[in-house]
Homo-oligomer: A and B are copies of this chain.
């Protein structure tokens, strides 16, 4: 019994070591969200932005692994996001989309109109398109939506 135990320990350790050897490990683990990360994009070589079921977006410095900002405002899961320059747009299960300034870390505009969850968003810097469970696609002007 003691023999089986030590052989098991050996194989467990060996398996872990072998896995570490062949597989890559992450450079950073970015912690802060309190629920599933549902969407993720890079905005430049040092910045990633994530959206979560915890209702927030987080702006991360991927070189240092630090959270630079938490974008608070949505009332339900953040399902999709797109970035163009300093602007990130997010679609949420709270039926709204939001336009955020990355550098200022604040919500510039809330786009209300859908009757149900937003599942998809597109943004080319000029127009925002959102697709929803309410079956419609809506087009918005980010400056005057």
Q: Which of A45-59 contact B (CB under 8 A)?
A: 45, 48, 50, 52, 54, 58
A68 at the interface (CB under 8 A from B): no
Known: A24-B112, A137-B60. A122 touches B41 (CB 8 A): yes
Knowing A25-B145, A41-B122, the reply to whether A30 touches B111 (Cβ < 8 A) is: no
Bound-state CA distance A27–B145 (Å) is: 6
Task: State the interface size on chain A (CB cutoff 8 A).
Answer: 60
A122 to B29, CA, bound (A): 15
- With most chain B CB atoms within 10 A of its CB, the pick from A110, A130, A136 is A136
A interface vs B, CB < 8 Å? Answer: 19, 22-31, 33-42, 45, 48, 50, 52, 54, 58, 60, 62, 65, 96, 99, 109-113, 119-124, 126-127, 129-133, 135-142, 144-145
Inter-chain pairs besides A29-B138, A52-B135, A65-B139, 5 sampled, C-beta below 8 Å: A22-B110, A28-B139, A38-B119, A40-B121, A50-B129
